[in-house]
Structure 1
């Protein structure tokens, strides 16, 4: 009989295939690293740019042609000498037949499925002049408000261009990726960080995050090392993922109900005084509002959470006790967690931050480290900024109506289409 649980186990086979492909790539890598390269082949050290982990890469070239990408031997950070499937597929970025290598201009104004756009190669001078002219025409006719720039989080030089044009509408991918995490981390524990000290954790609690199959290699390495060091891994995920198979305990939680379990665990930690009382007293305002906080979480019992999540109340209570007593505990959260994109994501991430605070592992061994950054002068500190024109007009995405988002930079994809079609989103 095919039950819900057995069906989820079958679905988890996809994660196993990913792990197998990683082993295959590792085998190829060991061959290239162990043997002396034949004549005409060359190993070049570089770094991967697919994500911001920037893992060390060893590229194998044969007569100047890139043949293989593997982890850089001795890389202590990032991939630790390994490379994920995305990084190893980077050869396609170089030799893909559709790779854009120079500016192209559309010559056929007609658009539609199957219609040849008539792309024609042009010089960089013509491309830049065309873009500048269209910018100028739009500003002169409709104002700088009419310019919409879609980009990744902007570096200083890019912002200089936008400020010189008076651009008020710039959006990036943050609200579709990790904006909730970023805002909640800032107001609960400090600047956003993905630095998790898994190696020294003794209890790792995961809400939806499939670290082994859908995350950066540095996180997968960390959780594997943690378990080898004796850590317990608990996974809440409706899907029987690769990480669910790896975990010591897996609970096929009802989709969207993670918040109920998190609230119930907070309830137990407070009710039984299992939280790190010294850390909480030294670094939070809990002592000032203790009565109100305890009263707020009192209704969220494990029995209540069981009705919402289908996770047994006895299991929730036991896990909360283990979380509070087994040593350094962590509830990691990342942009790739399923939990980060629920409609109640703000409340869930807030609850996760509270769990980490109660564990006393914020910026402590076995927990989440705050970012340590090198003090590199910004462009404006080296080259004084010019006089920019005043920014006029309203944001088309409605971000100016959301104070917490407004502080964060960028813009909102989720309201952008409505804003473009209706001038301003109906918020």
Structure 2
């Protein structure tokens, strides 16, 4: 089964929690806090595997989660960091954010890409010891790992893409000029999956040719194989347009040529401007007048014209050498740059936004960033509560409450935790 677009969810590992511990040893009094830090959560990493040619494995598994870091322990023992989760993808896979369509990575090289970063481990209580706070009974929890919904889209990496209507001889041509063995039939049918073939030119030169599923009219609007075809043309450095010049099936080669190029233009203006050669196939079955008329039409458009018969190999060698010469003039295969996250969506460093509303005699504070701070507060420990109060003061929450007229004894609700305000 050929699958070239899938949606998955990736979840990096959570950092391990810091430990709350105090040193205990015979003959050692007041050993002090010795809670170790938690380990880092595992990253989610994408890696190119050249043995893969489809995204079919992702059809049956949608969720990928890296392991969490281990918690810290006593005696300043740090938790072990989790191993990265490696996800293997075919070369040419484009990674996008599912919600925004933003390009996250282009897996066209051999370099690994960290797609979701694991959370940092939390500090143990040893970090919070000060001359005035000698017995801290709290520690920081590990931070959560990044989580994303992603779309993986396979775009073939090929130098030359064969385009044209079904049954014009594209599969036959690639089977003749390369070692690729696509399905070929002598009845109406179209290739359902792209086929790559390496075409050798002499001793030291070669290029990759892609036999891509045949187009039909309306493909740019999703008719037939629609975008499943056009997606794979996108990276090709040049296009080889195969046209059945014989007209044996009652088709007009000029009309076919125009329809295919219209579909390219409707899908992507840039694609329509891609360098293009034209191969008039089945020329052994065509009259000289048919070939000459089509040649004149193509050359008038400034395109290179080649007369071939893929079935008998007539003209195929000259075509291959002409393609190779043209490729030497063209830039390398297109690669996409990862798109930066819009500045408006970036969390501002040090930003501690909050809102406060009054409900009867209760002041309700909404500040999502306080979730982490509240999670490591020990409500039974005076020093821990002092630490939390300092966070509220530094963030401006207490100043805002006083500005709103809060009085001693009024109730404050922070993330469901209620306490009486004391000056």
Fold shared by both chains (TM-score > 0.5): no
Q: TM-score, normalised by structure 1?
A: 0.18
TM norm structure 2: 0.18
Kindly indicate which of the two structures has a greater share of residues assigned to helix. Answer: 1
Q: Which has the larger radius of gyration?
A: 2
Point out the structure with the larger strand share. 2
